Amino acid sequence: MNRIIPDTNFLIYLVRFKLLDKIENYKEILLLKQVLAELVVLSKSKGEKVVDRERAGIALQFLEKIGEKVKFVNDIDSKADDAVLELGMKEKKTAIVGTMDKELIKRLKKEGLNVLMIRQKKYLEER
């Protein structure tokens, strides 16, 4: 699969474990408007821990840096997890979903979708 659909927490974990460069290998990053909005809110929210605000900001900077690989998806009007699932089902043959959310992983697997997760804080593993 040469395209990835990351959710918000996946991008935050990639920053946390210094693995952002691993998704540069994908030809295209399908970024949902809900995920982008969550990152923006996280990066500015005074209610969040400073480290989480910083990680969200780093993820946003990274996405801006590799802008030519990022394709924004604006046509799905669901909550973030539902939108990730819906887009994953639309792009089932060509994209993998990146998430660390256990509940979302169960839903994705139930639909027969491939999932990309971080293992041992240093590897990306497809399941």
Give the number of other Cβ atoms within 10 Å of residue 107's Cβ.
Answer: 18
User: In terms of residues, how long is the chain?
Assistant: 127
Q: Which residues pair with 98 in a beta bridge?
A: 6, 116
Pairing state between β 115-119 and 28-32: unpaired
- Return the CATH number of the domain spanning residue range 3-126: 3.40.50.1010
Q: What is the pLDDT of residues 27-81, one digit of tens each?
A: 999 999 999 999 999 999 888 889 999 999 999 999 999 999 999 999 999 999 9
Ramachandran assignment for 6, one of left (phi > 0), alpha (psi -120 to 50 degrees), beta (any other): beta
Give residue 1's pLDDT.
76
Q: What is the pTM of this model?
A: 0.94
Give residue 82's pLDDT.
95
Q: Which two tokens stand for residue 62?
A: 């990274």
